[in-house]
Structure 1
């Protein structure tokens, strides 16, 4: 899944260890209790991140 236009991209570019970790934590929380896992890939290009979704199927 591609993510465009993050409202925090300026802060994330300066401090990805903080902002991107929060986003990964939100994804983890949304999927808690499911067989799915999300992996955030920040800054694939300017203004573009992606999320890979994995399931145990």
Structure 2
């Protein structure tokens, strides 16, 4: 079901889709952000909160 959901998101916008946590965190760090919180959400979602250093 994640593959289908990812395909749906990318069909709406090719730049969207399910993201890999490590890739998101790496981009954030490169942009001067620090991870403050990683909270599990319903339906296998995650809430990531970053703050500028």
TM-score normalised by the chain length of structure 2: 0.38
**Structure with a larger share of its residues in strand:** 1
Larger RCO, structures 1/2 (Cα 8 Å, 6+ apart): 1
Compute the TM-score of the two structures, normalised by the length of structure 1. Answer: 0.37
